[in-house]
Amino acid sequence: MVDLWLKDAKIVPENMIVSLGIEDGKITALKKIAPKREECINLRESVILPGLIDAHVHFRDPGLTYKEDFRTGTMAAAAGGFTTVIDMPNTRPPTDTAKAFKEKLKIADHKSLVDYGLHAGVGKLKDIKNLFKLKPASFKLYMDLLDDTEIEEIFKEIKNLKNEGHKHDGHEPLISFHCEDKETVNSSTLKLKSKGRYKPELYAKARPALAEIIAVSKALKLAEKYDLKIHICHVSTRESLELIGGAKKSDLKVTSEITPHHLLLNSSYLVKCGNFAKTNPPLRDQKDKLEFGSLNDVDIIGTDHAPHTITEKEQNVWKALPGIPNLDTTLTLLLTQINQRNMTFTDLKRLLCENPARIFNIQNKGFINKGMDADFVVVDMRKEEVINPDKFKSKAKYSPFKGFKVKGMPIMTMVGGKIVMDGGYLSKNQGNFIYS
């Protein structure tokens, strides 16, 4: 006998009504009609999706928990329909040693409401091998902070790992990139700063599209030279995506991510919202930015949930910290786009469930099939709201999407067969490490 039935759920895009049986946190049955007299939740033909996987969050834990911690970050995730998150390494200390990695795992184990993985940072080369044993989702490299020679040394070290046959659940190491060329960013920023100008919209010029394009070309060359798998985070320009498309045609093992803000906003939001729209890479001018038409060529949507305090945001453009908290809003914004026919449920599932599971080697997630984890988000496609950051579960109560009218909202989130959000209310849960 199953533990629980989710009765009358609508599977999309097929619009098929099914009942899902859940046992020990897994999907064990898919039937047209749920058996009578067993425990069930009637979803009344609401759309059900696999729980969303966010491969790009910054939870600031440890070290910067005044901005966010693993509890509040995963509360925002659960509220927003995300059942798995992968945390970035730029915490204090950074997650670039085995010790720091283990400590962050303990924190997550203690505080996370949803399932989680961690990306590793790279500090000293000698730490790479020990870190890899702990199963990071990837090694994250910030090209805006590293010199070309440093990046190449890291590639050599990771190539050694691969040659020595080290594997992570049977998979070779993956390198994730923040692609903005350090030299280009530094020289453009310096020029603008020295003119003593402070308008937030200058930020888009201080870190121009060219900085990303140069960095993406460098990353692709390294992937080819060392025959390593790479993943390009937050692609923000059409030209970068074209370069990645070309590399894929030449059989390079490269995948790409876009964020909700780079998809939905352009640089005019720096004028409208000031530094609340400041992020790295910056929002792009309309002519350079990616559009819904480009989504076919993108592999995943990652939120790049990057919370800061209002005080940290309300400084001058050069001092204000970059980052936008997105976990509370991403799904509702995208459901709105589905209602407006700018994208489809098939796109949403591919970009936020299936591909993140494949790219980051997350077994048993991303699909609604027998044997998969019972991770779901149920959505109401008719529910309307206006985005109000005061209601965010994240500690960061600001957003360039403030005031956006949305139609389509998550109404229930379930992780491993347990309800973590129902009608906006959160319940306790203990998430698991995705590679355990």
Active-site residues, by number, are 304
Q: Which of Zn ion, ligand DOR, none sits in contact with 94, Cβ below 5 to 8 A by type?
A: none
Instruction: Output 21 or 323, the one with its CB closest to ligand DOR.
Output: 323
Site for ligand DOR in 132-191 (CB under 6 A): 178
Residues 280/144, Cβ–Cβ less than 8 Å? yes
Per rule CB under 6 A, is residue 280 in the interface with ligand DOR?
yes
Locate tokens 């190491």: which residue? 173
Q: Which of ligand DOR, Zn ion, none sits in contact with 322, Cβ below 5 to 8 A by type?
A: ligand DOR
Instruction: Output 267 or 280, the one with its CB closest to ligand DOR.
Output: 280
Per rule CB under 6 A, is residue 220 in the interface with ligand DOR?
no
Q: Which of Zn ion, ligand DOR, none sits in contact with 280, Cβ below 5 to 8 A by type?
A: ligand DOR
Of the candidate residues 157, 304, 328, 375, the single one contacting Zn ion (CB under 5 A): 304
Sorted by sequence, the CB contacts under 8 Å of residue 333 that are 6+ apart come out as: 260, 264, 387, 401, 404, 406
Task: Report the phi/psi class of residue 137: left, alpha or beta, with left for phi > 0 and alpha for psi in -120 to 50.
Answer: alpha
Calpha distance 260→302 (Å, rounded) = 8
Site for ligand DOR in 52-71 (CB under 6 A): 58
Instruction: Output 189 or 280, the one with its CB closest to ligand DOR.
Output: 280
Instruction: Supply the DSSP symbol for 51.
Output: P
Query: 420: how many CB neighbours lie within 10 A of its CB?
Result: 27
Q: Cis peptide leading into 356, omega within 30 of 0?
A: no
Instruction: Output 209 or 415, the one with its CB closest to ligand DOR.
Output: 209
Per rule CB under 5 A, is residue 201 in the interface with Zn ion?
no
Crossing angle of helices 182-194/209-226, nearest 10°?
Answer: 160
Q: Which secondary structure element, helix H or strand E, spans residue 186, and what is its range?
A: helix 182-194
Instruction: Output 279 or 303, the one with its CB closest to ligand DOR.
Output: 279
Which tokens hold the place of 134?
A: 């702990």
Q: Which of ligand DOR, Zn ion, none sits in contact with 262, Cβ below 5 to 8 A by type?
A: none
Calpha distance 316→335 (Å, rounded) = 34
Calpha distance 87→25 (Å, rounded) = 23
Least distance from ligand DOR to the Cβ atom of residue 59, Å: 10
Dihedral of the alpha carbons of 361, 367, 372, 374, in degrees to the nearest 10 = 120
Least distance from Zn ion to the Cβ atom of residue 90, Å: 8
Calpha distance 289→331 (Å, rounded) = 21
Calpha distance 372→363 (Å, rounded) = 8
Residue 212 C-alpha from the chain's centroid: 19
Instruction: Output 163 or 311, the one with its CB closest to ligand DOR.
Output: 311
Calpha distance 398→396 (Å, rounded) = 6
Per rule CB under 6 A, is residue 73 in the interface with ligand DOR?
no
Among the residue ranges 132-140, 296-304, 378-386, 393-401, the one whose residues contact Zn ion (CB under 5 A): 296-304
Q: Which of ligand DOR, Zn ion, none sits in contact with 323, Cβ below 5 to 8 A by type?
A: ligand DOR
Q: Which secondary structure element, helix H or strand E, spans residue 386, and what is its range?
A: strand 376-386
Of the candidate residues 84, 90, 329, 413, the single one contacting ligand DOR (CB under 6 A): 90
Among the residue ranges 95-103, 133-141, 192-200, 297-305, the one whose residues contact Zn ion (CB under 5 A): 297-305
- Interface map 318-357 toward ligand DOR (x if CB under 6 A): ----xx----------------------------------
Among the residue ranges 92-100, 198-206, 301-309, 399-407, the one whose residues contact Zn ion (CB under 5 A): 301-309
Q: Please tell me the count of residues contacting ligand DOR according to CB under 6 A.
A: 8
Query: 285: how many CB neighbours lie within 10 A of its CB?
Result: 16
In the complex, which residues of this chain contact Zn ion (CB under 5 A)? 304
In the complex, which residues of this chain contact ligand DOR (CB under 6 A)? 58, 90, 178, 279-280, 306, 322-323
